[in-house]
Structure 1
């Protein structure tokens, strides 16, 4: 209706104004015409120029007033039209905002990364469009309010509110609705971004799990039970290379864990899914680590067993060759009866016996260690077979048979070495017996030579008087007691020598020589002793 009023007013004005404008244009022709007709300026109103000019002035004045009225009327009608258009646009935007509000409250989520990113992009585009549309209407209202303020016109929008109040109310309403929707849009944007983050987190976790599967496949493909030291060393190199290869996977698994903690700390809308994903990665990684640790234990156990077995067998071979050698540690074959042996010969033989005993304890411990390393190796072999669900029975039997053969060889060598050790121990004991016997024989001969014969050679006369004789008799009795002790020792030596010779002592010949020497020296000394007495 406002548009029709404005159009009618404009049409009437355009019809009247040209007619008024024609009169001044024709006015110059009036004067000549009137003068040619004999009309003077003083003619009456019916035909005077003044009357015509007066009429023209009134028409010009009325035209000006009409134009002013028309302009004022047109301004009001234009403002009314703009007000109604603004109300219409505001109502339309308000309806759209209501629909957008409902859309923003229903968030569609996807676990597909591309779709989630597309939903986020569409949301941002929708928000941008909403803000642009709302901004245009708000700007339109603000411009209309500014026009009302500068024009000074007072129009009524309806029976209750003026046009300016109506515009202000609509602006405030739209602004509040826009703020509410921006809050909802921000909440939805955050949720959609978290959805994208969840998808990316899932993809990263899947990638780590894929690497873990590759690691498990590498372990399975390279799994083998070493049957010799070279195999164990080769498996050790492969395992070290594997550990280097999965180091990146370990770093990525740790990053997944930290990423999960960060997402949960940022109040993600689905923390449980994040925990489940992170726990799955941790679980799979721990399984891989457990399998790797089991193979590491298998590698270590195999190296320990084969190295220990090799070293122990080498030591046993060396000891067997050493114990087979026939050595005369006491030097009885070169010892001359009556000669002086080194004073530390007994100590040396005693040290050899102690060393021999220590060697026995050492190689027995080494054999026990080899058996324990074998048990450990077989234990980790069995455990690894369970972890890897290995079906290669032939390889298992080969390893078991190899270990069994090594242990049997080790036991055989151990028994041989023990046998040779026992024989060597017997020879050392006999050497010690001989050295002690030799020392006792030398002590007896030395006493006869240094003490007994010296006494007899220095006591060749009797006393010149009774006192000297009694003194000599007292010394003789004391000497006789010492000689008696020596005689008993000589008897014991002879008995010991007979016993050792009967048992087949290794140094029987030397013992007989020493016994004969002691017996002869003592018999000679005893004969002289009887004469002196």
Structure 2
């Protein structure tokens, strides 16, 4: 090859290198993943062109060596031009490599930013779910909300690996001295803050849902307690005090069973009160309402127990009244029976004039009088009981009737006593006369 031809080839090659250098004079490394990938593909084409251009540079270098052999007088000029060409080529290759590295760094940054946006979008979405203010109105609904909230926890935990990979990638870029290190560091810190806020929001929501379930459980317990109280209030509201001793005793037996049920319920009421105090002490969000509901149930419970005592007292009074009535009936029947004996004047019959018969009748009457004397305290006790019932107003509104019966009973008793005394006196006189 002639020296002139080599010179022309060198000039074309230098122009080609110059154009390629100009192509590298740009600061555009892409603003998103798509543009970065497009620039990388373009740079790959640029590198293929450089490879072809490099072959020409190598070929021209070989030609220069041959020219040095054939034209020793132009050695200095040829070597100078070769050095100039190699320097330009090395510079171009270096700049191309630098751009490739920067495009790679830009790709890493856009990938980092894309992952950051995806994670932030996910955080915002899940935070909207865990920050809901929805509260249940019953136990079933509260349990359903808690179950759904726990599902969010599972989803958050499932993302831990993704967040760790993202952080490792960011730290790797920082260690490599990435040109966007300040922005990367800022994004890492921002994501940490958002994750912390998400965790805080989840915990706060869990506490709220736990309190919601506790409140619904408390409300259910209150409702059940009030239903049981209402059922017992209905029992106590009855005015039935029995119309006989047997019916009163049956009511008392029923009331004793009721009393046992009340004692069992007492433990549940105490547990309800303790639960309410615990919620109030824990500064529950529904503390005012819990305070009111607790007091309503406790007040109603105290009224129920007061009513129970009053009912038991009334049944006791009714039992005493019915027992009194039965005792009066029995005594009246007994007096009526004894009056037949006391008013018996068969001793006046002439057939009874014999001394032995009179003595026998007198002895029988003495036994009769002893029996009357033995029953005097019983009769006095029944009369005293009646007086007490009247004084206490425990006659179920029949005080006047009780007074009449007491008066009649006392008259019958006195009449019996008098008749017995008259008969005794007459028997004594008959014996003396005989």
TM-score, normalised with respect to structure 2: 0.63
CA displacement at 1:109 relative to structure 2: 3.9
Residue 207 of structure 2 aligns to a residue whose secondary structure is: helix
* Shift in alpha-carbon separation, 1:68–1:114, aligned structure 2, 3 A: farther
* Shift in alpha-carbon separation, 1:279–1:235, aligned structure 2, 3 A: same
Aligned to 2:17: none
Aligned to 1:170: 187
Residue 200 of structure 1 aligns to a residue whose secondary structure is: helix
Aligned to 2:83: none
CA displacement at 1:193 relative to structure 2: 1.8
Aligned to 1:224: 240
- Structure 1 residue 141 corresponds to structure 2 residue 167: yes
**For the Cα contact (< 8 Å) 2:242–2:318, is it kept in 1?**
yes
Residue 268 of structure 1 aligns to a residue whose secondary structure is: coil
* Shift in alpha-carbon separation, 1:145–1:250, aligned structure 2, 3 A: same
Among 417, 420, 427, the residue aligned to 1:421: 417
Among 244, 251, 255, the residue aligned to 1:235: 251
* 1:69-103 CA distance string (max 9 Å, x none): 87775454333322344245446756876798798
For residues 421 and 155 of structure 1, the distance between their equivalents in structure 2, rounded to whole angstroms, comes to 129
**For the Cα contact (< 8 Å) 2:390–2:402, is it kept in 1?**
no
* 1:139-178 CA distance string (max 9 Å, x none): 31322323653xxx43321xxxxx2x65444334432442
Among 115, 131, 155, the residue aligned to 2:178: 155
Among 25, 37, 45, the residue aligned to 2:66: 45
Among 199, 202, 217, the residue aligned to 1:182: 199
**For the Cα contact (< 8 Å) 1:260–1:278, is it kept in 2?**
yes
**For the Cα contact (< 8 Å) 1:86–1:140, is it kept in 2?**
yes
Aligned to 1:13: 47
Aligned to 2:319: 303
Aligned to 2:210: 193
Highest Rg: 1 or 2?
1
1:3-82 paired onto structure 2 within 5 Å: 3=36, 4-15=38-49, 17=51, 45=66, 74-82=100-108
Residue 284 of structure 2 aligns to a residue whose secondary structure is: coil
Aligned to 2:74: none
Count of residues in correspondence between the two structures = 369
For residues 81 and 204 of structure 1, the distance between their equivalents in structure 2, rounded to whole angstroms, comes to 62
* Shift in alpha-carbon separation, 1:356–1:118, aligned structure 2, 3 A: closer
**For the Cα contact (< 8 Å) 2:139–2:216, is it kept in 1?**
yes
1:130-529 paired onto structure 2 within 5 Å: 136-146=162-172, 149=175, 153-157=176-180, 163=181, 166-219=183-236, 223-243=239-259, 249-318=265-334, 321-322=337-338, 325=341, 359-373=375-389, 378=394, 381=396, 400=398, 408-424=404-420, 507-508=428-429
For residues 391 and 49 of structure 2, the distance between their equivalents in structure 1, rounded to whole angstroms, comes to 122
CA displacement at 1:262 relative to structure 2: 2.5
For residues 148 and 431 of structure 2, the distance between their equivalents in structure 1, rounded to whole angstroms, comes to 115
What do you get for the CA RMSD once the two structures are aligned? 5.3
For residues 320 and 337 of structure 2, the distance between their equivalents in structure 1, rounded to whole angstroms, comes to 26
For residues 167 and 101 of structure 2, the distance between their equivalents in structure 1, rounded to whole angstroms, comes to 17
* Shift in alpha-carbon separation, 1:73–1:364, aligned structure 2, 3 A: same
* 1:335-391 CA distance string (max 9 Å, x none): xxxxxxxxxxxxxx9x99999767535422322203434776856x57xxxxxxxxx
* Shift in alpha-carbon separation, 1:219–1:65, aligned structure 2, 3 A: farther
Residue 45 of structure 1 aligns to a residue whose secondary structure is: helix
* 1:398-420 CA distance string (max 9 Å, x none): xx5xx876764454233111222
For residues 257 and 164 of structure 2, the distance between their equivalents in structure 1, rounded to whole angstroms, comes to 68
Among 96, 112, 116, the residue aligned to 1:86: 112
Structure 2: runs of 5+ lacking an equivalent = 1-27, 30-35, 56-64, 70-88, 348-354, 357-365
